[in-house]
Structure 1
Amino acid sequence: MMPAFRTRALSLGLTAAALLAGCGEKSAQTATLAPAEIETGTACVLDGMLLADYPGPKAQIHYAGQEQPEFFCDTVELFNTLLAGEQARAVRAVYVQDMGQADWEEPRGHWIDAKAAFYVHGSKVHGSMGPTFASFAQRADAEAFAGEHGGQVLAFGEVTKDMVDLRGGALHDSHM
Structure 2
Amino acid sequence: MIRYSKFFRSLLALAVLASALALSGCDKAAESASIAPVEIDRSTSCDLDGMLLSDYPGPKAQIHYDGQAQPAFFCDTTELLNTLLAGEQVRAIRAVYVQDMGEADWDHPEGHWTDARSAFYVFGSQRHGSMGPTVGSFAKEADAQRFAADNGGKVLPFAAIKPDMVDLSGGAKHDSRM
TM bin (shorter chain)? 0.7 to 0.9
Cα drift, residue 117 of structure 1: 0.6
What 5-or-longer segments of structure 1 have no aligned partner? none
Alignment of 1:133-172 (within 5 A): 133-166=135-168, 167-171=171-175
Structure 1 CA distance for aligned equivalents of residues 120 and 30 of structure 2? 28
Partners of 2:32 and 2:95 within 8 A in 1: no
What 5-or-longer segments of structure 2 have no aligned partner? none
Residue identity opposite 2:173 in structure 1: G
Q: Show the counterpart of 1:56.
A: 58
Instruction: Provide the alpha-carbon RMSD of the alignment.
Output: 2.7
What TM-score, normalized to structure 1? 0.81
Q: Show the counterpart of 1:97.
A: 99
Cα drift, residue 165 of structure 1: 2.4
Q: How many residues align?
A: 168
Residue identity opposite 1:133 in structure 2: V
Match among 131, 134, 145 for residue 132 of structure 1: 134
The share of aligned pairs that are identical, in percent, is: 59
What TM-score, normalized to structure 2? 0.81
Q: Which runs of 4+ in 1 moved over 2 A?
A: 1-4, 15-31, 168-172
Q: For each residue in 1:105-164, what CA deviation from the matched residue of structure 2 results, as whole angstroms up to 9, or x when unmatched?
A: 110000001111110000111111111110011111111111111110000011111111
Q: Show the counterpart of 1:106.
A: 108
Q: Show the counterpart of 2:87.
A: 85
Alignment of 1:59-78 (within 5 A): 59-78=61-80
* Residues 28 and 121 (structure 1), Cα distance of their counterparts in 2 relative to 1, 3 Å cut: closer
* Residues 149 and 88 (structure 1), Cα distance of their counterparts in 2 relative to 1, 3 Å cut: same
Structure 2 CA distance for aligned equivalents of residues 83 and 29 of structure 1? 20
